[in-house]
Structure 1
């Protein structure tokens, strides 16, 4: 498997606008949480304990016989983990106990809002590489694997404890990765039903094609990885305690209007178009290609002030269009 491209930490600002993933070694090497992790398990856990308040956070627990991967059951009717909400202190104590076992259950704190559960963290861990106001999130776990999935947002993920192995696939590999239903996934992100770390080629023969274009990198504390939207990624946490801080963001649709969520468009298009007759579906494909995907389409026949969403927008116009779209969707 080919390595993910790398760039020096000094190039972070330039990299975060590209549509290719990149590893940024040592980007956060000076962070206090990274330095605490270098001083052993107890110091690492003590750092997070002192930072956290009593706000409950989401956690998942999986049996080690499931290959330490949080995902679908083999019959695809459910998920192979339990969900819970606890204060971070309780989860840290559980991680410490599990670190004494040779093969403990897989435990992960997932996507905790740092501003709510660790309000002092950002002041000590500046993130000048991401857009102002971007909210960081915390992930803590023991040895566990997040299955292959993709996000609709730009993503900067910084390893702050333990080692994590990232396996990435370009968006073009999605048809070969056996994704589950959009509305029935282990998280809010569309998720593959295949295990890319231990592939079953009898059940999922197209994985051969996906793995042929996969790239991989192992990150140590202080290292970061940038992943553009739609790049599929699976993440393995390799040590008894692993930590990661990530930021998701999307550009504003117009200044002051905030971002829109392309995943919502995917859901609505799938609902509205998927069951149409093949001939009509092909016609909609042609219309979408013209209005949505052809970045060079010529709209000069429309006066600039009348182009609406085909032209430049301000915040007021975006809000009006969103209201119209909500009315079109209906009940």
Structure 2
């Protein structure tokens, strides 16, 4: 097979100087037809043929070739025009893909590429806008605090410094999310798997979320319900997932609301559910909230839209799933609000060597 490819690679390309693929197809088919016609004539002993009829046959053949070649090359020309438009930043052009041959497959792939590039460009613009907003808000607050202290308007009291610390922590979270995103894109995903006791794990996450909610002024109550279950995973990464889910639930819960965290075993998996009593996520937004830079209608207080995207990434690394479920399918005690279900495989059974 390799020898055949080498032989084909050595073959000459006499039609390369021709700048039109339609002309190439016409020349190739015309030469092939001409050779076949000559062989046919030779087999008939070179019968006498009127030159006028020969000219008419050649003309009709060329017209037919032009018509057939036109339909085959139009998608290629459209792709050329669309590619030039995309080079200028216009990703709205599409190619009509109606044929079922290789050109049609190429046109379909081209349209998919154009859609992906448009989505990437949109995400890039959203990233710049969201990150710029997220950076400007804490930097402006820090600048105002420091200017007041330097000008003597206020003193470095604990409350003032606590506000500055909060803004610095907000900047730190943003940098952490961006670093996680770069690791995701680079494929650098170190996981340190170990057995995790679900009840103890959720208890630690909820205690941290309670402290963070109190510090942020969110009047919410956390309720945990988890049996004795063990899973195998990266505790730090999973802690990052549920810390994000609980933080979102606390921010979107009404004053005095309850955030419920429960775990239950389902066959060879464990279901971890986080529910709040907020306004919920519209059905049209549920599939998109886990995309990068998508904040949804509930994100009224900032955010880059990276938290849930990173959460899905971590869950998928653990061979699990994460989704926003319909409140109607959730237990009655959890309604209304947002309900997010995380499904993870149980700890694999240990093989005894005895």
Whether these two folds match at TM > 0.5 is no
- In the superposition, the TM-score normalised over structure 1's length comes to 0.23
Bigger fraction of residues in strand: 1
**Structure number with bigger Rg:** 2
- In the superposition, the TM-score normalised over structure 2's length comes to 0.22
Of structures 1 and 2, the one scoring higher in RCO (CA 8 A, sep 6+) is 1
Bigger fraction of residues in helix: 2
